[in-house]
Structure 1
């Protein structure tokens, strides 16, 4: 079932085992390099969104979605392996976890691909009346020194509200909100923002006060949440324009 078509790319839900395998191959190439499958037990319980080149049919991006009726079951999420999320147990609206987002580094038109992905997500969020979108936003590599200005910016502007704030669970974390004393260089900070996290923040998203060091995927990541009711109206209109079926 098509989710949204624009001139070059379209998004659809994966319907077959071959669809899932193609996403796992792309994920391995993006996250680990080379040929192989990036797969885990969550793949069997998630819905997978595939973004394809409308001309060639080639898979250029993918992500997966895991829905929850409310916060009571958030401990079953992928993110809960790394973050203590009991503050969200009382969240009483439907939630969706977005994970394993990746774009083929050889694909052209990354900005268009990202727009199609967010259009697909927006349509799903509206259809399912989602209250909170969440997930892990990753930085390449595990050296926090590369991103000190970015983490200082997150500390100053984007830390989660106290009532929802994740606590430390992973054994190896960078507590940037506590440890950093520097003022951010805004230009360097923005350059260090991963595109997915940048989009979350433009929608009013917030992050954990610490980053998890993930040596398996060679990343640093922060828990990220977007409360749908808090998305700026102008941004919501743009996303819904992309999400509207052609």
Structure 2
């Protein structure tokens, strides 16, 4: 996940322009108790989300961002200016909304991506080939997912997915995709989990997608008969496990991202593949937690 540093004022100006006329309640996607999920409304909220990302990616996961990002203690790049930023806020925390952000996702629709140079994941995976096979479908990219340690609970996951699902419905999306990460830069240390993904949930045929050839790392590290599914599922990061429950598939090869200290796989989730269990839970109109 390479990070291109740009002037923060430009990010703020572009973000403000895209949100200045938005009705305040139209971007609230769900509430559970004191927790709320909605889109960021102001440059200062985006800045606060970048601070949360810094805390998770740098302070916890040991990512090495460019010097300016490290100095400002913000994870930010050029994409922040035109993406939408999904937030989870804890309204029980005293202070302004910026102080209440405990989780975030970065959302990028295909039309917006194409108008701004493409998808972020295309720097690692052959996204253009996937899009070319589906000219009649509209894709959205999920990225920069993170939640503060004290909030990594079922409720937060439910709200984040409530937000993603409501956003996808609102904009008529056909499929979601995005990078999901294993900690560390040695795929071999995740041989069991990666092999399980390769043998059991690999995206195939029209949904097949691989890493760019010069970055591709093999995920077929153990023969299928040597993979214990129960142990493999326990070894999966919670985010990837959550994607699989929804019905997601995974690209055929991985990428080592030294800057973020991760091994990345590509998640592909056609809307039509989302498990009926979850469609019923969140509601076909994403109304489960809406209020």
What's the TM-score, normalizing by structure 1?
0.91
Match of 1:116 in 2: 159
CA distance in 1, matches of 2:203, 2:242: 16
Match of 1:10 in 2: 36
Please give the per-residue CA displacement for 1:119-162, whole angstroms capped at 9, x wherever unaligned: 11111112222110110011111122332111121112110122
What is the RMSD of the two structures over their aligned residues, measured on CA atoms?
2.3
Match of 1:100 in 2: 144
* Counterpart pick for 1:78 among 120, 143, 146: 120
Structure 1 window deviating more from structure 2 (110-119 vs 85-94): it is 85-94
After TM superposition, which residue ranges in structure 1, 4 or more long, deviate above 4 angstroms?
69-75, 241-244
CA distance in 2, matches of 1:71, 1:17: 20
Match of 2:91 in 1: 54
* Counterpart pick for 1:68 among 101, 110, 114: 110
* Counterpart pick for 1:136 among 172, 179, 202: 179
CA distance in 2, matches of 1:74, 1:180: 40
CA distance in 1, matches of 2:83, 2:114: 18
SS in 1 for 2:59: coil
Alignment check: 8 A CA contact 2:32 2:289 kept: no
* Counterpart pick for 1:19 among 45, 49, 61: 45
CA distance in 1, matches of 2:114, 2:178: 16
Counting matched residue pairs gives 244
Alignment check: 8 A CA contact 1:94 1:131 kept: yes
Give 1:15 deviation, angstroms. 1.1
CA distance in 2, matches of 1:208, 1:117: 23
* Counterpart pick for 1:147 among 165, 177, 190: 190
CA distance in 1, matches of 2:282, 2:211: 33
Alignment check: 8 A CA contact 1:12 1:50 kept: yes
CA distance in 1, matches of 2:175, 2:133: 12
Q: Indicate the structure (1 or 2) with the bigger Cα radius of gyration.
A: 2
Alignment check: 8 A CA contact 1:142 1:215 kept: yes
Alignment check: 8 A CA contact 1:71 1:95 kept: no
CA distance in 2, matches of 1:126, 1:47: 15
Match of 1:205 in 2: 248
Give 1:69 deviation, angstroms. 4.3
